[in-house]
Amino acid sequence: MRKPVLLATAKSENIIEVTISKDFYTSPKKLFTLYEDDKIICDIEPVSKSESQSTFIYSLLLNDFIYVPGRKYEIKTSENYFIPLDISFLAEQEEFEKKYRFDGELGAVYHTDKTTFRVFSPFATEVLLKIQRKNSDRLEIYKMIPDRENGVFSIDVEGDLDEASYLYSPTIFGETKDVVDPYSYSVGINSRIGYVINPEKIKSISTHDESLPPFSDPLKAFIYECSVRDMTSKTSIPHPGTFSALSLDNQAKKGEPIGLDYIASLGMTHIQLLPVLDFHTIDDERPKDSYNWGYDPYFFFAPEGSYSLNPKDPYSRVLELRNLIGQMHAHGLRVILDVVYNHVFCVEFNPLAVLVPKYYFRTNHDHSSSNGSGCGNDFESRHYMARKLIIDSLMHLLDFYDVDGFRFDLLGILDIDTVNKAYQAVIERKPEALLYGEGWDLPTALPGDKKASISNSHQLKGIAFFNDRFRDIVKGSTTSLSVKGYLSGDTNYIDGFKHVFLGSSIALAFAPLLSSPLQSINYIECHDNHTLYDKLKSCCQDESEEDIFKRLKLCNAATCLASGIPFFHAGQEIGLSKEGLGNTYNAGDEINGFDYDIAYHRKDLLLFFKDVIHFKKRFFALTDSLKDVNKHITFENLDHNAIKINYIYDDQELYLIFNPTKQSFTYNFDDYVNLVFTDAGNVEHNDFYIRLAIINGLSLNIFLKNKRTKR
């Protein structure tokens, strides 16, 4: 039998909408009564009635009534049926947001003799805490104590609750649901329960900070993006696709490094890990049966269970993630986490939406869900406790895992104030941390001047942005695969290439996109969209594989050497393919897994990549000059629209000649220069000085002039 519909929703302070199924009542109603905490407030006659085939819908009008969150409201019918009244509209109001704020610790705050539990839920009339201690079959239930001034429920539970499982059970608008604490530091298998964690156990594992080289200048970073699963999924490393597998060193295939050793061999300074916090769509018990990058977030404090050796053990995932970061630090690599605060996988089942309906997720003027993220919901970062959750999560990740920065997915969904406050909190804790994100201007319900988008970069001085202008000018349009860029063969983009080579911060061919090169994440491939190799294969279909590889080298070199922060996606260095597919977020290990056999067979590409990284490190004084690009960098157009880039600093000058055409030509220097780098990589021990240079097609040549050396 179909369950009859009985709903009552306050649309505003004055209007209540009551929906009653015709299966329940066959005749219209003429009178309703409003109750508050089981006491009669007033009788209300409907001001209008409509009906569909299955329901009656009544509009009730109240005068000068003020709802108080935390109290129980009901609408009684003339037959004495009580319908819980939903007053969640209040969560969208400024008065609610300003009143219900809390600055203390939320979640399970552990001490050896007690644990304090706190949860934010202003609408709840009651919240129960359900606990099961480790090695106990007994369920303990405690009624939490409300603080009606700030909307937080709390309770101290005596004893050592280390590894106890727990749930909250709030009663909101007459309905009681069990939910996992959104502040849980660890969750059970498939995220169905939270656990109390002793921070000292986590921090007992060294993160090997002492092994990290000094770092203070973002322009000296080299960022390598990879997935925990992808880097080992096609290997024989024990437990492939897990935190543990990627943390192992001394791993090799055919005598060549794989996994963490491979990444460490490249010369990177930072690893950016695709999401490692708990996400929704992978079955922890059978992770190989499905695949996802993790942009379907669930919990913002707990690591993902499918990457763990034992997702049933609450400590396993936490300790393994900390150990992985420690091992990366031991190899001299800083770790950036990809964090997804702009949306969740499913609002209806998310604990945040259960605990405070309509508070954490942005709505349009008509009260529909804002969907700039394309995921059906946008996080309302302007709300105090939503902003607190983001910043608390970042602080927790710094504290528990000693990470070195954050990449924000769809950063433009968040508001400027939240991002600036997050930046200040992170930098106060770890001054050398990097923060950057996707600054796309997305159609979220937020005024344009409030979005943390790339167009507002001047208001976000400490934040860097993925530079899609660099990406599309260097390699060609990302959305139209057949369209070429400067280094893929359309030399009409020569002035645009100059612009992006200066960090898109100077008015040259385009208006400045960014305030300085420090804000430019220079990239041409990331996990989204097609790989660089697949793009080049598509837009240069008439070219040989050898020529494709030459262009790939040019693109990688430009990314490394341009003003800004170079960013590379795993496999870009050796031309990995995704079989022509673009967004492969759920395409499986066969498509996404790193193929070390290709690295073995394309050693020339790999060595070139390492050489160009080494070259930039060798001339890091050049990086210092990039902060004042107008003063230190000039350009010269050459034959066939090739380009010469002049770096002038101290007593030396560097000349970079990019030739993205197939034509060769000669170039006369006005003084003797030393050839130090070619499309074959570093030129070692070359003491031969020249004035006339032969520039081959599809090549990069770099020449050094030492002003103190007279020839």
Mean pLDDT of 106-135: 98
Q: List alpha helices for 88-226, DSSP H.
A: 94-99, 199-203
Contacts of 175 (CB under 8 A, 6+ apart): 84
pLDDT in tens, 21-80: 888 776 778 899 999 999 999 999 999 999 888 889 999 999 889 999 999 999 999 889
Residue 218, phi then psi, degrees to nearest 5: -55, -30
Residue 516 pLDDT > 70: yes
What does the alpha-carbon distance between residue 372 and residue 341 come to, in Å, rounded to a whole number? 13
Look-up: residue for tokens 């070390």?
Answer: 596
In the chain, the largest separation of any two C-alpha atoms, in whole Å, equals 105
3-state SS, one letter per residue, for 413-451: HCEHHHHHHHHHHHHHHCCCCEEEECCCCCCCCCCHHHE
- Closest by alpha carbon to 667, among 677, 676, 679, 655? 655
Element containing residue 284 per DSSP (H, E): none
The pLDDT, as a whole number, for residue 1 is 44
- The two structure tokens encoding residue 608: 């070139």
Neighbours of 313 (CB within 10 A): 18
The pLDDT, as a whole number, for residue 30 is 84
Q: What is the CA radius of gyration of the chain?
A: 29
pLDDT in tens, 541-600: 999 999 999 999 999 999 999 999 999 999 999 999 999 999 999 999 999 999 999 999
Q: Does this model's pTM top 0.85?
A: yes
Look-up: residue for tokens 């927790």?
Answer: 396
Q: Is 409 one of the annotated active-site residues of the chain? A: yes
Neighbours of 642 (CB within 10 A): 21
What does the alpha-carbon distance between residue 129 and residue 165 come to, in Å, rounded to a whole number? 11
Class level of CATH domain 95-179 = mainly beta
> From the candidates 438, 534, 573, 679, which is the catalytic residue?
438
Look-up: residue for tokens 């066959």?
Answer: 26
Alpha-carbon torsion (52, 57, 59, 65), positive or negative:
negative
What does the alpha-carbon distance between residue 267 and residue 608 come to, in Å, rounded to a whole number? 12
What letter does residue 461 receive in the DSSP assignment?
Answer: T
Cα angle 219, 223, 226 (rounded to 5 degrees) comes to: 170
Residue 709 pLDDT > 70: no
Contact by Cβ (8 Å): 196, 168: no
pLDDT in tens, 650-677: 778 899 999 999 999 999 999 999 999 9
- The two structure tokens encoding residue 195: 């656990």
Using DSSP's 3-state secondary structure scheme, residue 352 falls into helix
Contact by Cβ (8 Å): 481, 539: yes
Contact by Cβ (8 Å): 591, 229: no
Where in the sequence of the chain do the CATH 2.60.40.2320 domains occur? 6-86
- Closest by alpha carbon to 234, among 591, 650, 670? 591
Contacts of 644 (CB under 8 A, 6+ apart): 635, 636, 637, 638, 655, 656, 657, 667
CA atoms within 13 A on the CB side of 313: 10
Residue 235 pLDDT > 70: yes
End-to-end CA distance of the chain: 97
State the architecture of 6-86 in CATH terms: Sandwich (2.60)
The pLDDT, as a whole number, for residue 569 is 98
Average pLDDT of the residues of the chain:
95
Mind giving me the DSSP string for 313-342? Answer: SHHHHHHHHHHHHHHHHHTT-EEEEEE--S
pLDDT in tens, 621-639: 655 545 667 778 899 999 9
Q: Is 43 one of the annotated active-site residues of the chain? A: no
Residue 465: strand pairing partners: 437, 520
Q: Residue 147 CA to chain centroid, in angstroms?
A: 34
Mind giving me the DSSP string for 223-256? Answer: EEEE-TTTTTTTS-SSSTTSHHHHH--S-EETTE
Where in the sequence of the chain do the CATH 2.60.40.10 domains occur? 95-179
Residue 270: strand pairing partners: 223, 334
What does the alpha-carbon distance between residue 357 and residue 423 come to, in Å, rounded to a whole number? 28
- Provide the CATH topology of domain 628-706: Immunoglobulin-like (2.60.40)
What does the alpha-carbon distance between residue 253 and residue 241 come to, in Å, rounded to a whole number? 17
The pLDDT, as a whole number, for residue 4 is 65
Q: Residue 424 CA to chain centroid, in angstroms?
A: 18
pLDDT in tens, 24-35: 776 778 899 999
Share of the chain above pLDDT 90, in %: 91
3-state SS, one letter per residue, for 520-586: EEECCCCCCCCCHHHHHHHHCCCCCHHHHHHHHHHHHHHHHHCCCEEEEECCHHHCCCCCCCCCCCC
The pLDDT, as a whole number, for residue 157 is 98
pLDDT band at 271 (very low <50, low <70, confident <90, very high): very high
Share of the chain above pLDDT 70, in %: 97
> From the candidates 409, 472, 543, 611, which is the catalytic residue?
409
- Of the given ranges (28-37, 139-148, 430-439, 607-616), which has the lowest mean pLDDT? 28-37
Where in the sequence of the chain do the CATH 2.60.40.1180 domains occur? 628-706
Kind of pairing, strands 665-678 and 681-682? antiparallel
What letter does residue 363 receive in the DSSP assignment?
Answer: B
Residue 88, phi then psi, degrees to nearest 5: -65, -15
Residue 648 pLDDT > 50: yes
pLDDT in tens, 199-233: 999 999 999 999 999 999 999 999 999 999 999 99
The pLDDT, as a whole number, for residue 95 is 96
Q: Residue count of the chain, please give it.
A: 711
What does the alpha-carbon distance between residue 478 and residue 483 come to, in Å, rounded to a whole number? 8
- The two structure tokens encoding residue 364: 């349009």
